[in-house]
């Protein structure tokens, strides 16, 4: 039994729910945050039945600054501390520039960037007082370079990379570690909606076990699966003429 207090945003499905199972199995106490109350209650029940896990739920929209601060403050007060935050809540909607949907851009940045940043800011004062803590954010391999029809998502993950990398530098002297997770495709509600070929698509459990193990080692940046991560890193150095020749005009459609 490790008995750490782990707060996970976006715990009602996909990667967040699977990470909750892995931490529950390890004997940790869980704060589960998302908007869908029924899904969180079902997960809470499952974690209690399968692992005897003590978990609390917090219902809120992570992009609502006062709501996420209140929910996290309540969880910290209930448990008396926070050891790990996983800022995982996120959305991915198609955002082709030729359709110029400003609402999608706003939603994506508010949820993926501000939501992750608010959650981190909500735990930092407590972690500083504790002189210990671990903050992780679920970014993406999509944050290295703009991909076709996914500008909002790519921009959000690039922003998250920079925000949390700065955080890592600033918080080191308080013994708070920061991990940035950059997965490729992992089965979830997000990938279920994709209509395009997803190379190296990983089962939810397999992908999340990689994340869990890397977090247990306090790895600073985790990019996987390695062949795709290597390719994406290489693409970063391609000149624009070559990048455009290969990627311009590719359709990146999702089912509604």
Active site residue ranges: 153
Binder among 190, 211, 222, 223 for ligand NAP (CB under 6 A): 190
If binding is defined by CB under 6 A, does position 10 make contact with ligand NAP?
Answer: yes
SS3 7: strand
If you ran DSSP here, which 8-state letter would residue 111 be given?
I
Q: Which residue number, 44 or 140, has a Cβ lying nearer to ligand NAP? A: 140
If binding is defined by CB under 6 A, does position 135 make contact with ligand NAP?
Answer: no
CA distances from 35 to 5, 57, 111, 203 (A): 21, 10, 12, 24
Please report how close the Cβ of residue 174 comes to ligand NAP at its closest, in angstroms. 25
Q: Which residue number, 14 or 151, has a Cβ lying nearer to ligand NAP? A: 14
CA angle 19, 187, 252 (to 5 degrees): 130
Please report how close the Cβ of residue 136 comes to ligand NAP at its closest, in angstroms. 11
Enumerate the H helices of the chain as residue ranges.
14-25, 37-51, 65-79, 102-108, 115-130, 151-171, 189-192, 204-216, 226-235, 240-247
Binder among 53, 82, 89, 159 for ligand NAP (CB under 6 A): 89
If binding is defined by CB under 6 A, does position 55 make contact with ligand NAP?
Answer: no
If you ran DSSP here, which 8-state letter would residue 202 be given?
B
If you ran DSSP here, which 8-state letter would residue 114 be given?
I
Residue count, binding to ligand NAP (CB under 6 A)? 31
Which position has the token pair 């991909």?
147
Cβ burial, residue 243 (10 Å; 0-12/13-18/19+): middle
Q: Which residue number, 65 or 191, has a Cβ lying nearer to ligand NAP? A: 191
Q: Which residue number, 55 or 188, has a Cβ lying nearer to ligand NAP? A: 188
Q: State how far the Cα of 3 lies from the Cα of 27, in Å rounded to an integer.
A: 6
19-48 residues in contact with ligand NAP (CB under 6 A) are: 34-36, 39
Binder among 29, 32, 62, 82 for ligand NAP (CB under 6 A): 62
Q: State how far the Cα of 189 lies from the Cα of 175, in Å rounded to an integer.
A: 35
Q: Which residue number, 14 or 117, has a Cβ lying nearer to ligand NAP? A: 14
Q: State how far the Cα of 84 lies from the Cα of 60, in Å rounded to an integer.
A: 19
Please report how close the Cβ of residue 218 comes to ligand NAP at its closest, in angstroms. 20
CA angle 53, 117, 98 (to 5 degrees): 115
If binding is defined by CB under 6 A, does position 188 make contact with ligand NAP?
Answer: yes
Q: State how far the Cα of 132 lies from the Cα of 171, in Å rounded to an integer.
A: 10
* Interacting span for ligand NAP (CB under 6 A) from 21-29, 61-69, 215-223, 225-233: 61-69
* Interacting span for ligand NAP (CB under 6 A) from 6-14, 123-131, 169-177, 233-241: 6-14
Instruction: List contacts with ligand NAP (CB under 6 A).
Output: 9-16, 34-36, 39, 61-63, 88-92, 111, 115, 138, 140, 183, 185-186, 188-191
């Amino acid at each position: 039994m490790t008995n750490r207090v782990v707060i996970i945003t976006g715990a009602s499905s996909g990667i967040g729910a699977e990470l909750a199972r892995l931490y529950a199995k390890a004997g940790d106490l869980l704060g589960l945050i998302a908007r869908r109350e029924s899904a969180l209650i079902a997960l809470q029940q499952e974690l209690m039945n399968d692992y005897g896990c003590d978990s609390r739920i917090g219902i809120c929209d992570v992009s609502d600054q006062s709501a996420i601060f209140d929910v996290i403050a309540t969880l910290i007060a209930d448990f008396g501390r926070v050891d790990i935050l996983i800022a995982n809540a996120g959305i991915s909607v198609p955002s082709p520039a030729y359709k110029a949907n400003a609402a999608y851009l706003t939603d994506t940045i508010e949820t993926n960037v501000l939501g992750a940043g608010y959650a981190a800011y909500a735990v930092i004062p407590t972690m500083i007082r504790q002189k210990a803590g671990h903050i992780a954010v679920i970014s993406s391999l999509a944050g290295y370079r703009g991909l076709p029809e996914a500008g909002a998502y790519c921009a959000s993950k690039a922003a998250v990379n920079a925000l949390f990398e700065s955080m890592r530098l600033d918080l080191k002297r308080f013994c708070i570690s920061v991990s940035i997770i950059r997965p490729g495709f992992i089965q979830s509600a997000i990938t279920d909606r994709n209509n395009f070929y997803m190379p190296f698509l990983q089962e939810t459990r397999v992908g999340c076990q990689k994340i869990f193990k890397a977090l247990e080692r306090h790895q600073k940046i985790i990019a996987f699966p390695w062949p795709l991560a290597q390719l994406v890193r290489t693409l970063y150095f391609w000149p624009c003429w070559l990048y455009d020749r290969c990627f311009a005009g590719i359709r990146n459609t999702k089912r509604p």
